[in-house]
Amino acid sequence: MKTVNQKAWFFVLPVLVLVAFNALIPMMTVVNYSVQETFGNNIFLWEGLTWFQQLLTEERFYKALGRQFMFTGLILVIEVPLGIAIALSMPRQGIWVPVCLVLMALPMLIPWNVVGAMWNIFTLPDIGLMGYFLNSVLGISYDMTQDPIAAWVTIITMDVWHWTSLVVLLAYAGLVSIPDAYYQAAKIDGASNWSVFRFIQLPKMKPVLTIAILLRFMDSFNIYTEPFVLTGGGPGNSTTLLSIDLVKRALGQFDLGPAAAMSLIYFAITLLVSWLFYTLMTKDDLN
């Protein structure tokens, strides 16, 4: 006879407490702000869904959202294929393996604001290595503080430089776990290199690539530090991504209510896209 009782709840209690303090309570505070107006001094006025309505009808928000999707889309389109290509061309054994792995990991070890500062200096037209080279040696007019396109090229390049390694390392881990027999069987079956990639390597990399894309999506969708340090959202508002816009509202304009409403919508979008993507990618595995 099995004893039925409620003891199991005690075992999940530590997790509940942890989640409460690091997610639920801060989140509820934001919810609290999002339905009220405050001018400081702990005075709150009930506003209901006003901030949400205001935000969702506002051009500024949709522009920032559009820029955010463009940024994330571009870096995914570049980083995922590039990461796979680099992983494919890395040696699978020998003394160069650790060398390659360390080289790949290096950009990820640099603090985010340092990355922003590095690229800022790197691209300065008068003294930066890249800025000077483009302007004075190649004669290409390039100034990311003036030209929105140059600013976009710079933040995309910076993110690719900083984060492609993550895709590389995950894809590489997927590749090295493929047993030799697969390649041998493919040889015997007369498969072309493309077929080997399409029918062996890509399917075997799929689980790690799903995680890689998910991580890159979430990270890039919430990116703040690097573009803030590099462009500050400018020139004009051309690189004002969602997070930069959010901080401008909350700390620049001190519009805590609308900022809270925006962060909730922001969070919902991130969650929804991640969930949709993950569900679609893993639905085959469940059957």
Partner 1 sequence: MAKITLSNLRHSYYPSPSEPSDYALKEIDLDWNDGGAYALLGPSGCGKSTLLNIISGLLVPSEGRILFDDKDVTALPPDQRNIAQVFQFPVIYDTMTVYDNLAFPLRNRGRDEATVKTRVTAIAEMLELTDMLDHKAAGLSPDNKQKISMGRGLVREDVNVVMFDEPLTVIDPHLKWKLRSKLKELHQRIKATMIYVTHDQTEALTFADQVVVMQDGEVVQIGTPVELFERPAHTFVGHFIGSPGMNVLPCDLRDGQAYFGEHQVALEGAVVGTPNGKTEIGVRPEFVTLATSGLPATVSKVSDIGRHTVVECDADGSKISAIVDGAGPEKGAAVFLHFQQNQTRLYVDGWIATQAEEAQS
| Residue numbers at the binding site for partner 1 (CB under 8 A) | 179, 181-182, 184-185, 187-192, 195, 199-200, 203-204, 284, 287
Strand, coil or helix: 45? strand
What is the nearest approach in angstroms of partner 1 to the Cβ of residue 283? 13
Write out the DSSP string of 217-271: HHHHHT--HHHHHHTTT-STTTT--HHHHHHIIIIIS--HHHHHHHHHHHHHHHH
How distant, in Å, are the alpha carbons of 69, 100, 101, 136, 201 from that of 96? 37, 6, 9, 37, 21
The distance of closest approach from Cβ of residue 201 to partner 1 in the complex, given in angstroms and rounded to an integer, is 11
Spatial CA neighbour of 178 closest among 199, 201, 195: 201
Nearer to partner 1, 63 or 204 (CB): 204
CB 87 within 8 A of CB 172: yes
Residue 136 or 195 with smaller CB distance to partner 1: 195
Residue 272, C-beta contacts closer than 8 angstroms, at least 6 positions apart: none
CA gap 54, 51 in Å, rounded? 5
- Is residue 112 helix, strand or coil? helix
Q: In the complex, what is the shortest distance from the CB of residue 192 to partner 1, in angstroms, rounded to a whole number?
A: 7
Task: Give the shortest CB-183-to-partner 1 separation in angstroms.
Answer: 9
